[in-house]
Amino acid sequence: MKTLEYLRDYPDLFWPACLAAVALALLCSMLSVLVVLKRMAFIGQGISHAGFGGIGLAAVFGLASASLSPGATIAQFVVVLAFCIASALGVGILSSPQKQGETHEDTAIGIVLVLSMAIGSVLVGIYSPRFQWESFLFGYLLNTGWADAWVAVGVSAGVLGALFWARRPLAFWAFDPRAAEAFGVRTGAVRVLLLVLLAVATVTAMRLAGVVLASALLILPGAASLKLSSRFGVVMGLSVACAVAGVLAGLVLSFETNWPPGPSIVFALTAVYLASSVAGRVAAAPTVEGVVR
Amino acid sequence: MRPAAERRTGTGLRVGLRVAVASAIVSVAGVVGLGLPGCTDDPGATKVSVSEKRVSAVVTIAPLAGIVRELLPAGSEVTILMPPGRSEHGYEFTPKDLATIGKADLVVQVGLGLEPKVEQFLREHPSEGRAEVVLGQVLGISEGAEGHEHHAHDEHGNCLHDHGVDPHVWLDPVLVAEAVPALAEAVIKAGARTKEDLTGTTRAAQEQLIKRLRELDAEYAEALKPFQGRAIVTHHAAWGRLASRYGLRVADVLRPAESSEPTPEQMASVVEALKRENVPAVFIEPQYDAKSARRIADQAGLPVKTLDPLGEGDYFAMMRSNLGVLVSALNGK
Amino acid sequence: MGIDPQHELHPPGFAAAVEYRGVSFAYSARAADGPSVPVLSDVTLSVSHRERLGILGPNGGGKSTLLKLTLGLLKPTRGTIRVLGREPSAARAEGLVAYVPQKSGAEPAFPISARQAVLQAATLHLPPWKRTDAESFRRAEWALSLVGASEYADRHAGSLSGGQLQRVWIARALANRPRLLLLDEPTVGIDPAGQQQFSDLLARLRNEMDLTILVVSHDLRTVAAGCDRVACLARTLHFHDAPGGLTPAVLAEVFRHDVSAIFGDVHIDAHRAVECSHHHAPAGSAGGDREGGKAP
């Protein structure tokens, strides 16, 4: 079986990718529940394309180049991340839900998305015209080295920690934003926090594994787990499980068939989602069984 | 207090205002961005200065400029379409590029699947008296199975080059020498278009150029003689022709298909090749992101060396520089 | 911010639960309004402890605004408001005031049970490193049984009916033992039987808790049935002691800004007031029963 062969014979080649993939699954899975519930999938897209603008900005600082020192690589990551966070916040501001509905957010995302791409295109053209940004911005999972993998683990831990720390106001806001506001939850801050975490997750996943996989990880696990349970805690846990299962299955698929890892994982995640849909329909109507823990 | 109508549309106005401001910024930036490169360095084309109206030549990649310039009279304009630093594969020719071609007297391209858009354009927009050279055609290499023996195979005998035939003909000085007569003819034809009789100068230049290429060939053969049969591993499959000309073997290529990333099997196979053969280094090109190549080289404890298949426009400098890199790597330095 | 369930400490020397003095308010930019008319104008009102006060009025008359001012979400342009002797925002920050909004902004697909929805409010004050504790569970259980929602407490919130959800929202509001409960249009979309249950609920709440209740509604029946007193609010306050004092003439005057408006099932119009109240008000409601006679 090729998978075992690869893992045994070429450890430094393939283990970092596996570690990074699992870290990304953890990073994105819980966020994906919120993304699906609050219908923020398009924002994830917008943020990932905002990365173009981020690279443009990096180009201004001379950081858009194929070969950078480790310090410069970190600086570049920070610049792209800062730009994406700014874009996410821009979307948040443009679509503040005081009087408008969700269509407005849609529009805001579309605007920020195209504007970022335009900015990136122009800036890279001026400052780093030789730069092949597509392959650079949209990573490839098998290019992950140990350093990248541990960065992913660290970012994952940070984001999960933030989610845990803010879980009560976040869950309340996610469920009933108006009531949360009336109960004193600082809904503006919560919303900003979610957008920032989403930007961090998107940029990290995108740099390591490509934009397709980043988007998939931010939608499919949550969508799958929501079909399986109507208890929030259980949904969160199942989302992580679905994401990790999908990622591992996808990697095995990639190794066995020699298909690229990103799309393979997307296939696996989709299969998990379809299985959940069927299982969810087969099970009883959503009720909460037993005593609440 | 503001009138009712304005207040009712207040929020819509605010959004509209923001969109308008954003659009204005983009437009200004776009205009500036498009204007600026034109003022300083045009990444789309590199020009040689022009004094009078002489032959204007367009080539697709930088090495061709170095060759063609030798045959043209002084003061001719040679435009390179692909900006330096971009890979020769998958380049999207802009409308500006095509317009430049349209006005040229001489167009030189590699063919063999490298510049399909240019070939199409030339076909659809024929021009009276314009001289066109396609290296692949001139050398009698077709895009089919014929050129097979010229490029590397892995241990299963599979072709490692995605196109089926290796278009990197310019890296083999013998092939280039074979193409020079046809190039010279084209230059003369282009000269006729600009009402110049270039026959004399061009023939002389042709002899000179062929002589220099033969010297280059001899240099390569001499320098690489001690390393016959040695294997090299390259990032992309550009070096097959050169390797087979001078007795080297390309044991494996990390990225056989230029557009996509290496598959798991490809990566494992390269690591295997590095372990098995006595490979001196992993050779990357400056036009590609070499992250995976560096990772693999690090793991195998091998250095990473850069070979440039395109150069900046000086053909001989590029070829000699590459030779230097190859020799020092094979010497274990 | 710990919540003292007994709320025994009051600043000395105030008798009213909520006190509005000369309160005026105008939005600086409000899309739906006409240009320069203020939303509230010189409202003065004293709400006693443990009183159930109904606030009746037409749409746009300022009822929701008054609630928001009471919560401290808005500041009055003129005048003062004291909630339990404090500034409204301070009272809310201390957890003394609870609010059940008109429209539920809740996501029906959200995976949460009724009990967990109540717990969300009950545990808000806990620091992040603490688990949900027994005390919070107890409070949630107590609130749910008080509103009569225990039997469906563990069902998915999105699967509950309007009336059931209404109770759950009230339980959520009560979980932190507030002293003042604000209900904004609580019986919209609830049938007459449900409305009766609702007024029973208000009575029960008042009896079992030290709670002052403000109910805002445009529905005559709701307000009259469940409340001790009714205030009519149409930018300015017309105050009446007893629901029976809500004669058609009074109502017509209150609602004259919205002459052809239809609210609930009661259609009031200056000329046809008698006809309408006769026609639409079923026996036993509109305060008629308790006060011993229908309005003429």
CB contact under 8 A, B10 and C35: no
- Edge-to-edge, what's the strand order for the sheet holding B106-109? B77-80, B56-59, B106-109, B131-134
Query: Given this model, what pLDDT does residue B146 score?
Result: 43
Interface of A with C in 230-289 (CB under 8 A): 230-232, 234-235, 285-289
Q: How many CA atoms lie within 13 A of C93 on its CB side?
A: 8
**Cα torsion through A216, A220, A222, A228, rounded to 10:** -170
d(CA B190, CA B204): 17
Answer yes or no: are the C-beta atoms of C219 and C264 closer than 8 Å.
yes
CA-based nearest residue to C63, from C229, C226, C206, C182: C182
What mean pLDDT do residues C78-98 have?
88
Q: What DSSP string describes A97-138?
A: TTT--HHHHHHHHHHHHHHHHHHHHHHHHHH-TT--HHHHHS
- Alpha-carbon distance B117 to nearest alpha carbon in chain A (angstroms): 20
Chain B: list its partners (3+ Cβ pairs within 8 Å). Answer: A, C
Residue A229 with chain C: CB contacts under 8 Å = 111
Phi, psi dihedrals of residue B238, rounded to the nearest 5°: -95, -15
Q: Please write the tens of the pLDDT for every residue from A102-161.
A: 446 778 888 888 898 899 888 887 887 666 666 656 678 888 888 889 989 999 999 999
Q: What is the value of pTM for the model shown?
A: 0.74
Q: Please write the tens of the pLDDT for every residue from A252-284.
A: 999 999 888 989 999 999 999 999 999 887 654
The residue type of B25 is I
CB contact under 8 A, B1 and C30: no
d(CA A179, CA C103): 10
Interface of A with C in 21-60 (CB under 8 A): 37-38
Q: Is the pLDDT of residue A226 over 50?
A: yes
Q: How many CB atoms lie within 10 A of CB A95?
A: 22
Phi, psi dihedrals of residue C214, rounded to the nearest 5°: -115, 120
CB contact under 8 A, B7 and C34: no
Question: Which of the four pLDDT bands, split at 50, 70 and 90, describes residue C262?
Answer: very low
A166 at the C interface (CB within 8 A)?
A: yes
d(CA B29, CA B229): 55
Query: Given this model, what pLDDT does residue C37 score?
Result: 64
Tokens 């080295």 correspond to: A145
Q: How many CB atoms lie within 10 A of CB B318?
A: 21
d(CA B264, CA A10): 11
Query: Given this model, what pLDDT does residue C261 score?
Result: 37
Lowest mean pLDDT among A24-38, B7-21, B302-316: B7-21
Q: Which two structure tokens, joined as six digits, stand for A24? A: 């990304």
Chain A: list its partners (3+ Cβ pairs within 8 Å). Answer: B, C
Answer yes or no: are the C-beta atoms of B89 and B287 closer than 8 Å.
no
Q: Please write the tens of the pLDDT for every residue from A177-192.
A: 888 888 888 888 999 8
Chain C: list its partners (3+ Cβ pairs within 8 Å). Answer: A, B
CB contact under 8 A, C111 and A174: no
- Coil, helix or strand at residue C81: strand
* % residues pLDDT > 70 (chain A): 88
Cα distances (angstroms) measured from residue C115 to each of A102, A231, A288, B301: 28, 11, 10, 61
d(CA C40, CA C76): 9
Q: Which two structure tokens, joined as six digits, stand for B196? A: 């110049």
The more confidently predicted of residues A47 and A246 is A246
Chain C residue with Cα closest to B5: C31
Q: Please write the tens of the pLDDT for every residue from C125-141.
A: 889 998 888 999 999 99
CB contact under 8 A, B83 and A67: no
Q: How many CA atoms lie within 13 A of B200 on its CB side?
A: 2
A12 closest CB neighbour out of B15, B86, B299: B299
Question: What is the rounded radius of gyration, in angstroms, for the C-alpha atoms of chain C?
Answer: 19
Query: Given this model, what pLDDT does residue C274 score?
Result: 26
**Mean pLDDT, chain C, as a whole number?**
73
A11 at the B interface (CB within 8 A)?
A: no
C121 closest CB neighbour out of A177, A183, A232: A183
B264 closest CB neighbour out of A131, A145, A255: A255
The set of residues, in sequence order, having a beta carbon less than 8 Å from that of A25 and lying 6+ positions away, is A217, A221, A240, A243, A244, A246, A247
d(CA C152, CA C136): 19
* B161 burial type by CB count under 10 A (0-12 exposed, 13-18 middle, 19+ buried): buried
Residues of C in CB contact (< 8 Å) with A are 31, 71, 73, 92-93, 98-99, 101, 103-107, 109-113, 115-117, 120-121, 123-124, 126, 128, 154-156, 158-159, 169, 172
The set of residues, in sequence order, having a beta carbon less than 8 Å from that of B228 and lying 6+ positions away, is B247, B248
A62: left (phi over 0), alpha (psi -120 to 50) or beta: left
**Bridge partner list, B283:** B234, B305
d(CA B7, CA C28): 10
